[in-house]
Structure 1
């Protein structure tokens, strides 16, 4: 029973992190180049917690976004392409820092390709607009992975008193 509770708690917290950071977008200098904070965090979650927890938390975050009216089905489709690509890259190539750094930009590129194909729009402008966010994701994913791995390793250890926190 405690393992199920821990699993549910981790998934719920990860889903909340993805949902909240997915709602925050940093503006870019050019319209359409805004950066979604959830991208590097999602890569880090997949690297630190594994694909099963990552995809479960991502699906929950998408459901939350749909229920709150913050996302539509196109947003969820694009996010799922990103998530499946990131999970595939990390699952196939491992979680060394170069792979973690490049997984997010590959996921973003695949999501833009899918969106361009679905909407019948030119893909090159979509990729160019996403380039700044891809660079931010590549730069931030590895430090976030290290932080989440540290948090994960400390989870479950009970401090003897408040001074040990």
Structure 2
């Protein structure tokens, strides 16, 4: 029972992290180039907690966004393409720092390719508009991964402390 409660709690916290950071966007110099803070966090979550927890938390976050009206089906589609690509990259190539740094930008590019196919717009402007966010994601993914690793390592100590009380 303890294991199931811990898993549900962890998924809930990861979902909340993705949802809350997804509401914060850093403005870009050009309209449409804003950067969503959840992208590097999502990469870090996948690297530290694994694809299963990552995709579950991301899907729940998207569902919450749809229910609250802060995301459209198109937003969710783009996010899910990003998540699957990031997850596949980390599963197949490992969790070394170059892979973690590259996974977010590659996920963004593939998501923009998919978006281009849906909306019928040229892919180059979509990728160029997302480029500043890709740079931010590449710069922040590894530091966030190391931070989440340390937090995850402390998890056992915190649980033992709470159980002993």
- TM-score between both structures, scaled by the size of structure 1: 0.95
- Any residues of structure 2 matched to 1:27-38 within 5 Å, and which? 27-38=27-38
Q: Distance in 2 between matches of 1:143 and 1:125?
A: 29
Q: How big is the shift at 1:52? A: 0.2
Q: Distance in 1 between matches of 2:99 and 2:33?
A: 24
CA-based RMSD of the aligned residues comes to 1.2
1:66-104 residue CA offsets vs partner (Å, 9 max, x unmatched) = 110000100000000000000000000000000000000
The equivalent residue for 1:108 is 108
Q: Distance in 1 between matches of 2:14 and 2:131?
A: 26
Secondary structure, counterpart of 1:30 in structure 2: coil
Q: Distance in 2 between matches of 1:30 and 1:52?
A: 36
Q: Distance in 2 between matches of 1:76 and 1:30?
A: 23
The equivalent residue for 1:83 is 83
Runs of 4+ displaced beyond 4 Å: none
Q: Distance in 1 between matches of 2:10 and 2:113?
A: 32
Q: Distance in 2 between matches of 1:38 and 1:114?
A: 20
Within the alignment, does 1:136 sit opposite 2:115 as a pair? no
Within the alignment, does 1:69 sit opposite 2:69 as a pair? yes
Q: Distance in 1 between matches of 2:92 and 2:73?
A: 28
Q: Distance in 2 between matches of 1:18 and 1:118?
A: 25
Q: Distance in 2 between matches of 1:63 and 1:24?
A: 17
1:51-77 residue CA offsets vs partner (Å, 9 max, x unmatched) = 000000000000110110000100000
Q: How many residues align?
A: 161
Secondary structure, counterpart of 1:155 in structure 2: helix
Secondary structure, counterpart of 2:79 in structure 1: helix
Q: How big is the shift at 1:23? A: 1.2
Which consecutive residues of structure 2, in runs of 5 or more, have no partner in the other structure?
A: none
1:95-147 residue CA offsets vs partner (Å, 9 max, x unmatched) = 00000000000000001000011000010000001111001000100000000
1:14-43 residue CA offsets vs partner (Å, 9 max, x unmatched) = 001101111111100111110000000000
Q: How big is the shift at 1:13? A: 0.3
- Any residues of structure 2 matched to 1:1-165 within 5 Å, and which? 1-158=1-158
The equivalent residue for 1:163 is none
